Structure 1
Amino acid sequence: MKKQYSVAALLMLGTLASAQAQDASRIQTKVLGEDNQPVLVQFNAEGKAAYRGMPAEQVLRQLLALTTADQLRSRTVETDQLGFTHQKFAQYYQGVRVEHASYSVHAKGGTTESISGDFEKITGLNTTPTLNESAALDRALASVGARKYMWQTNDAEAASYRPQGELVIVRDARNGETGPLVLAWKFNVYAAQPVSRAYIYVDARSGQVVLRDDIIKHAAATGTFATAYSGSRSVADGTTTNGYYLREVTRGLGIETYNCKKGNSYTAAVDFVDADNNWTSAEYNNANFDNVAGDAHFGAQATYDYWKGVHARNSWDNAGAKIKSYIHFDDTPGDGVGYENAYWNGSVMTYGDGDTRFRPLTSMDVVAHEIGHAVCEKTAGLVYSNESGAMNEGFSDIWGAAVESYAVNTLSAASSGVKAKSTWLIGEEIDKVQVALRSMSDPNSLNQPAYYKGLKWYTGTGDNGGVHTNSGVLNYWFYLISAGKTGTNEKGVAYSVASLGITNAAKIAYRAESVYLTSSSTYSNARTATIAAAKDLYGANSAAEEAVTNAWSAVGVGAKYAASSVVAYCASKGTSVAYEWIDYVELGTLARTSAADAGYYNGTALSAPSIGAGTSQTVKFSAGYAGTAYTEYWKVYIDYNGNGVFTDAGELVVSGSSASAATLSATFTVPSTAKTGNTRMRLVMSDASATTSCNSYSYGETEDYTVTITGGAALLTATASVAGLTSLTGTVTPIGNELAKQLEVYPNPATDAVRIVLPGNAEATSVMLTDVRGARVVGATFSNGTLNVSSLAKGMYTLSVSDGQKVFHQRFVKE
């Protein structure tokens, strides 16, 4: 039987199809996940213009085709060093949180650049539980099977650990990562003996435990401390009435290290105290291994310094959170067996003394690894099972290696030097049985895979789906882009990956983890995220993008790098040249005279002038007028890093205004970090000061040209590196000292009224007022050159005043 639709339904279907087609025309790149839902959407110039100013939730509702049952609730808004704003939303279905599903909108300068995340398409799921909270908790505790729980101890905070149930929608992970979505009770269960802490999810209808997400993952003075693993180190600490102790407040809210005295109580822990702040080997290299307290303390300081110095992140939560470490922890005191583990429990660091397998677990890479879990919890929140859990472990190993390298190669410059360490071995200083826990440069040698679902890949259910094994794939990918390598992988495919250096590689990994990855991300998602991060940081078609892509291919995730043939630039055009246009442009060997070019001229095929990196250059230009010489706003942009946009720091090289028909000139300096090769220069002349590099505007013209940068930096150049070079913005200098003429508004700020004076004292034929959102404002009256603003709310407004031929714009503040 053929489907039959009413006229209204057909109209609705037609409207939906039209909207979907329109959205498709605005998309530059769309990456779909295994569920056929988008995990990354990047917009072209049309899309950026279409979604500019649209609320982030509305963008997502439109692009993800949300129904009335779907809700997105804003969780966080952060702005990064590149000037991007990232607004993250949590997904809800019929008011119930969809666990691990989130979506982000990435914008720059008010323009939505891309969206990314994990959206779960849900239909017909029953959100009414048949199992109550108390019964569900019994099932959760039965699955943990601990002898004692934290709320049953004498700890001062014991009562706060009693689990409270929350209804959520989560994926049943008992059969891997593609199980069905179910309604479940979520509990935070903290066990004291044996130690464990995890989110336990109990199906609210069947009573089965469908997922366990481990929180505990696994295994103002300056003194000198003879540490066990890093030599004699300077450590920041504090003082008491009886000496010095391992507490300091110079980093964030502080770094504190305590002695559990081989017990399992945090509240019973005491300070390590030294009389003269010279923590010598004779005093602390004893049978209790008290010297490892210095390793934990210095390791926490080095980790804080790394995150602050390299990634501008203020502690693990990016808000200066205190880092508290507890040494000599033993989960079962008095049993004669040392605790062979170290973990982050969601709020503090805990270190055992080891026994037959490990030495005390406070080596720097272990410290940085565990704090890395805290960073992951506050960023991507990768679920600790299967592929997402393997990447959770892998990222922590990455931070262990990166902090070690930073401490040895950077911190050593300020003191006697950190004891040499093996960057690509994890836990080499604590392992008694083998060379290390893991090798990032040769995962197979320590029974980890170097290839996705290849040799050594774990397919069982133990270790949360092999999180400590399958992390080898991410580890090896990171090693390849850091150190570079040419070879043949285990599938017999040749690869060549260029070295980016460990710092640049870490910046890519961190941007992927903090901006693009979500709780349930897979290795395929990580490939998409790191490629996007490389483009953000170092530009499209950069050496970084190529290395990242080829490294993923080498480890069996995706194809090799293929350069984009053309860098696409946004559109910029004046809609009218009836009154003015660009009639002359000169830079080096480029000198072009023209009449009006219908609002836009593409001169990129002309012979390109050469401009040397680090040199001073002068650009000349002039306006042609049909009659009166009106005030024009000039902007010259150069895409220094070749990434297809003009919005990176320092790429607006000239900005100024003039009402002169004579030739104008401006001088700018090409940054030494500019990318060698051909790129685009854009000149915009507009009657509106707010016109940017990607506008369709009323009066004026845009012209594009190719310029060749010589003597620049290597292709790997971060756009953020040119930030702060204010000399890049030149000054427009009218030849002949002809003064600029523009709309005058005074007083500014104003309280009751503003006086409006047009160039040449022309008569205003219309006046329009808009607020900071661009919305038209009513209620202000204009008469005899004066605008009454007494009824307006405080804030900034824009006046658009016409003399019958042209429209002039000016901002003012209402107090």
Structure 2
Amino acid sequence: MRKQYSAVALTLLGALAATTAHAQDAARIQTKVLGDDKQPVLVQFNAEGKMALRGLSGEQVLRQQLALTNADQMRVARVETDQLGFTHQKFSQYYQGIRVEHADYTVHAKGGTVESISGDFERISGLNTTPGLNESTALSRALAHVGARKYMWQTNEANANEFAPTGELVIVRDMRQGAENGPLVLAWKFNVYAAQPISRSYVYVDAHTGQVVLQDNIIKHAAATGTFATAYSGTRSFADGTTTGGYFLRETTRGLGIQTFNCKKSNSYTSATDFIDADNNWTSAEYNNANFDNVAGDAHVGAQATYDYWKNVHGRNSYDNAGAIIKSYVHFDDVPGGAGYENAYWDGVRMTYGDGATRFRPLTALDVCGHEIGHAVCEKTANLTYANESGAMNEGLSDIWGASIEAYAVANLGFTSGGVKAKSTWLIGEEIDKQQAALRSMSDPKSLGQPAYYKGQYWAPLSSAPSNANDQGGVHTNSGVLNHWYYILAVGKSGTNEGGNTYSVTGQGIDAAAKITFRMESVYMTASSTYAQARTYAIQAATDLYGAGSAQVIAVTDAWYAVGVGASYAGGGTTTPPPTTTTYCTIKGTSQAYEWIDLVQLGSINRTSGKDGGYYNGTALSTSVAAGSSQTMYFSAGFTSTAYTEYWKVYIDYNKNGVFTDAGELVISGSSASSGTLSATFTVPTTARNGSTVMRVIMSDNSATTSCGTFSYGEAEDYTLNITGGAAIAPTTLTGDATPLGNDVARTLELFPNPATDALRLVLPGNAEVTDVTVTDVRGARMTGTTLSNGVLNISGLAKGMYTISVSDGQKVFHQRFVKE
């Protein structure tokens, strides 16, 4: 009896321990979102959870949180650090050493602390991983499925090795038996590039039955300095290069280069030639000819504008964030000398443009270029599978980038409308379409046969067997939902949707909408993401960027509600109207140990102060300004000792909508490393609404600080402005001199050389003495074995790779990345 009792006692103790462990895990989780398969797609940790995970590697965190078995492995695919200071360690899932296609998970950390995890994890058990079909037989099944007349390795014999497919054993979902949730099977994966007719796709052949279980298209169809008279964007200045006999469309100033070639109405890339101009003035008389040679200029400057957009707006160096060459081939025809190729595509390596025929003009318009290279960006980030909902969002994201790049180029690069039709941000392919207004409309999807509401009118049924015949499960149709969500988020809209629910969304502008969307795509989305998961990830992206409960989070949520995905921000039903009293997002500096705002003066507002704990509510202080008047403002920083570089931003909510992100509301922006009084002048627009509104003054040591949220060092202050429509009110003149606010070069930590092999020299602002140095790897783990002497850090003992160094002058800590070679 004692043995029996002992066994029962042990069982009870084991159950109690398991229950206690489960309760502890639950107590450490702030939010957990489950997918349709009941596996977590997003887990956010609270303070206790973050503390419990400290010291664990990313793989250990996933093994613990996803309850991995010995058969499951998570292998690091890449590590990225974003502009918010987050490190995203991205893992690929393997089962018994075999890659599980489209199953990826990411550990999101900041300052070495894990904040959250997200992704798609496949729970697998008992799967037979020994193939019953060899690679050669599987390839013959794949080629029979594609059924092309000729393949690229036959057409381009010189580059046969580049195009010839080789097999890889993977685990993938059999998409023949379920639109999204077919069974997992062992399969041979081939990259098959066909020349006639053109196609390129990953073809998955069941390694036991020989059946093709999935086709994931790689080609996603979209139905010196010179000047070029382009076909669609007017005469553009552009960078190119010199060659024998003149100038050609190649340049090296952007990433590793941008190159544009002439296929001469053939389907051969290897026989393509350069366009060459003798004087680098590519005139209309020379190139606006029957052969449409002027479209070469559109392809070239379109690639340049696309590169510039990703670099300047999102801080991304080409589509792969590593400066990849962007190659474009114009005058392509899948049948050499044929009637004209009615398409453009990205094939994973290059851009290809046809000259069109009965339906299209040459397909080199700017938004088409931005759309197609957008597929390249998606491939290098979320890599959304090109079928059903994930494929629709793949297409939708490319439309979003096409529209955003067109708007950016018109507003910032001087692009004009030079073709038969004018450019229109919210129409896709408007300049190339001969038969209707455009290919797609983001502002009114239903006007061109796309759904504006999830599973509403014009929604194409998802397919249990995605193929070109059913548009891979409606990818070019159902993308309308994501397109319309983006339009509503950027521009704003009120109305009643197809579900009978009323909504009202305040537009956040293209800039904020684009930043939220790209963070959703690059940080959180995985290959198999659905619309429901996109909603979760977009809300999280907006929260990361602008703070919980911010105007952007509300707009993101309600824009999804407007298109039929999820509840409104108020939790369901009609979106709650804004309160009578405008509530603004919170703003606060975390530390004032070394700098703070000590003067703000504008008109009758004249406040000197010490430290205010990071934020001062001065809305009880006010001054009047007239619409159309010029105003000079004075301000200064206080410092404990060292005068660090501080970034000043002043926002005024001119339209009184409760946010500071509308055009023209950032009225002052600049930097200075001075403790003296600074000045800046701005003009109140004549369109400003009369009455009281808020002016927000921010001083931060970080140039990326925006109008909402928290930041590390510095302060923010709010005041009231009374806007009138009368004559200009002269500002009060400050006694003494004030230095106009400029844009100082930041005084920060300098490292050289970087990359380094054995030693790093460290130079702090003002040549201050280094008091402390810490080196961490990409996981946030602290490195040992480095020594500092006379400002030089010995790193000879470190392994090759990327590191973060934190250096203190006894007051502030400066962070920089370096590479050990």
Q: Scaled by the length of structure 2, what TM-score is found?
A: 0.72
Is 1:712 the equivalent of 2:714? no
- Per-residue Cα deviation, 1:680-703 (whole angstroms, up to 9, x for no partner): xxxxxxxxxxxxxxxxxxxxxxxx
Is 1:282 the equivalent of 2:280? no
Which residue in the other structure is 2:551 paired with? 543
Is 1:102 the equivalent of 2:104? yes
Q: Which amino acid aligns with 1:319?
A: A
Question: Is the contact made by 1:364 and 1:404 (CA closer than 8 Å) also made in structure 2?
Answer: yes
Which residue in the other structure is 1:432 paired with? 434
Q: CA, structure 1 residues 70+224, in 2 after alignment: closer, same or farther (shift >3 Å)?
A: same
Is 1:252 the equivalent of 2:251? no
Which residue in the other structure is 2:477 paired with? 469
Q: CA, structure 1 residues 417+433, in 2 after alignment: closer, same or farther (shift >3 Å)?
A: closer
- After superposition, residues 284-363 of structure 1 pair within 5 angstroms as 284-334=287-337, 336-363=338-365
Q: CA, structure 1 residues 416+400, in 2 after alignment: closer, same or farther (shift >3 Å)?
A: closer
- State the distance in 1 between where 2:783 and 2:412 align: 55
Is 1:533 the equivalent of 2:541? yes
Paired residues in the alignment total 641
Question: Is the contact made by 1:133 and 1:185 (CA closer than 8 Å) also made in structure 2?
Answer: yes
SS of residue matched to 1:467: helix
Which residue in the other structure is 2:742 paired with? none
Which residue in the other structure is 2:33 paired with? 31
Is 1:619 the equivalent of 2:611? yes
Question: Is the contact made by 2:375 and 2:398 (CA closer than 8 Å) also made in structure 1?
Answer: yes
- State the distance in 1 between where 2:520 and 2:240 align: 34
Q: CA, structure 1 residues 724+711, in 2 after alignment: closer, same or farther (shift >3 Å)?
A: closer
Q: Which amino acid aligns with 2:391?
A: G
- After superposition, residues 366-765 of structure 1 pair within 5 angstroms as 366-412=368-414, 421-459=423-461, 461=463, 462-562=470-570, 617-619=609-611, 672=650, 711-712=695-696, 720-721=705-706, 728=714
How far apart are residue 793 of structure 1 and its match?
A: 7.7
Q: CA, structure 1 residues 13+342, in 2 after alignment: closer, same or farther (shift >3 Å)?
A: farther
Question: Is the contact made by 1:617 and 1:669 (CA closer than 8 Å) also made in structure 2?
Answer: no
How far apart are residue 489 of structure 1 and its match?
A: 0.8
- State the distance in 2 between where 1:614 and 1:72 align: 58
Question: Is the contact made by 1:613 and 1:711 (CA closer than 8 Å) also made in structure 2?
Answer: no
SS of residue matched to 1:178: coil
Q: Which amino acid aligns with 2:611?
A: V
Which residue in the other structure is 1:745 paired with? none
SS of residue matched to 2:611: strand
How far apart are residue 559 of structure 1 and its match?
A: 0.1
- State the distance in 1 between where 2:165 and 2:784 align: 52
Q: CA, structure 1 residues 145+24, in 2 after alignment: closer, same or farther (shift >3 Å)?
A: same
Q: Which amino acid aligns with 2:714?
A: L
- After superposition, residues 170-185 of structure 1 pair within 5 angstroms as 170-174=172-176, 175-185=178-188
- State the distance in 2 between where 1:153 and 1:39 align: 44
Q: CA, structure 1 residues 425+568, in 2 after alignment: closer, same or farther (shift >3 Å)?
A: closer
- After superposition, residues 215-254 of structure 1 pair within 5 angstroms as 215-219=218-222, 221-254=224-257
- Per-residue Cα deviation, 1:363-404 (whole angstroms, up to 9, x for no partner): 000000000000000000000000000000000000000000
Question: Is the contact made by 2:610 and 2:638 (CA closer than 8 Å) also made in structure 1?
Answer: no
Q: CA, structure 1 residues 145+11, in 2 after alignment: closer, same or farther (shift >3 Å)?
A: farther
- Per-residue Cα deviation, 1:626-668 (whole angstroms, up to 9, x for no partner): xxxxxxxxxx66699xxxxxxxxxxxx99989xxxxxxxx999
Q: CA, structure 1 residues 100+725, in 2 after alignment: closer, same or farther (shift >3 Å)?
A: closer
- State the distance in 2 between where 1:205 and 1:232 align: 58
- Per-residue Cα deviation, 1:264-311 (whole angstroms, up to 9, x for no partner): 111100000111111111111111100100110010011000000100
- State the distance in 2 between where 1:346 and 1:286 align: 31
Which residue in the other structure is 1:74 paired with? 76
Q: CA, structure 1 residues 347+615, in 2 after alignment: closer, same or farther (shift >3 Å)?
A: farther
- State the distance in 2 between where 1:171 and 1:794 align: 42
- Per-residue Cα deviation, 1:582-625 (whole angstroms, up to 9, x for no partner): xxxx999xxxxxxxxxxxxxxxxxxxxxxx999764138xxxxx
How far apart are residue 725 of structure 1 and its match?
A: 10
Q: Which amino acid aligns with 2:253?
A: T
Where structure 1 has 5 or more consecutive residues not aligned to the other structure, the ranges are: 573-585, 589-611, 621-635, 641-652, 658-665, 678-708, 731-769, 779-791, 799-809, 811-815
SS of residue matched to 2:552: helix
SS of residue matched to 1:721: coil
Question: Is the contact made by 2:261 and 2:329 (CA closer than 8 Å) also made in structure 1?
Answer: yes
Question: Is the contact made by 1:615 and 1:669 (CA closer than 8 Å) also made in structure 2?
Answer: no
Which residue in the other structure is 2:274 paired with? 271
Which residue in the other structure is 1:187 paired with? 190
Q: CA, structure 1 residues 149+777, in 2 after alignment: closer, same or farther (shift >3 Å)?
A: closer
Question: Is the contact made by 1:351 and 1:360 (CA closer than 8 Å) also made in structure 2?
Answer: yes
SS of residue matched to 1:120: coil
Question: Is the contact made by 2:232 and 2:418 (CA closer than 8 Å) also made in structure 1?
Answer: no
Q: CA, structure 1 residues 460+797, in 2 after alignment: closer, same or farther (shift >3 Å)?
A: closer
SS of residue matched to 1:339: coil
How far apart are residue 37 of structure 1 and its match?
A: 0.8
- Per-residue Cα deviation, 1:484-527 (whole angstroms, up to 9, x for no partner): 01111112211111110011101100000000000000000100
Question: Is the contact made by 1:613 and 1:673 (CA closer than 8 Å) also made in structure 2?
Answer: no
Find the partner of 2:126 among 124, 127, 132.
Answer: 124
- State the distance in 2 between where 1:372 and 1:613 align: 48
- State the distance in 2 between where 1:422 and 1:324 align: 26
Which residue in the other structure is 2:771 paired with? none
- State the distance in 1 between where 2:203 and 2:120 align: 21
The root-mean-square deviation of aligned C-alpha atoms, in Å, is 4.1
Question: Is the contact made by 1:84 and 1:107 (CA closer than 8 Å) also made in structure 2?
Answer: yes
How far apart are residue 122 of structure 1 and its match?
A: 1.0
Which residue in the other structure is 1:694 paired with? none
- State the distance in 2 between where 1:146 and 1:74 align: 37
How far apart are residue 54 of structure 1 and its match?
A: 2.0
Find the partner of 1:18 among 5, 17, 20.
Answer: 20
- State the distance in 1 between where 2:246 and 2:507 align: 48
- State the distance in 2 between where 1:568 and 1:207 align: 59
- State the distance in 2 between where 1:322 and 1:775 align: 36
SS of residue matched to 2:158: coil
Question: Is the contact made by 1:486 and 1:497 (CA closer than 8 Å) also made in structure 2?
Answer: yes
Q: CA, structure 1 residues 151+512, in 2 after alignment: closer, same or farther (shift >3 Å)?
A: same
How far apart are residue 362 of structure 1 and its match?
A: 0.4
- State the distance in 2 between where 1:193 and 1:505 align: 40
Q: CA, structure 1 residues 286+10, in 2 after alignment: closer, same or farther (shift >3 Å)?
A: farther
- State the distance in 1 between where 2:783 and 2:283 align: 72
SS of residue matched to 2:240: strand
- Larger Cα-atom Rg: 1
Question: Is the contact made by 2:597 and 2:714 (CA closer than 8 Å) also made in structure 1?
Answer: no
Where structure 2 has 5 or more consecutive residues not aligned to the other structure, the ranges are: 1-5, 464-469, 577-582, 591-595, 599-603, 618-636, 659-692, 717-773, 786-795, 807-812, 814-821
Q: CA, structure 1 residues 325+5, in 2 after alignment: closer, same or farther (shift >3 Å)?
A: farther
Question: Is the contact made by 2:226 and 2:281 (CA closer than 8 Å) also made in structure 1?
Answer: yes
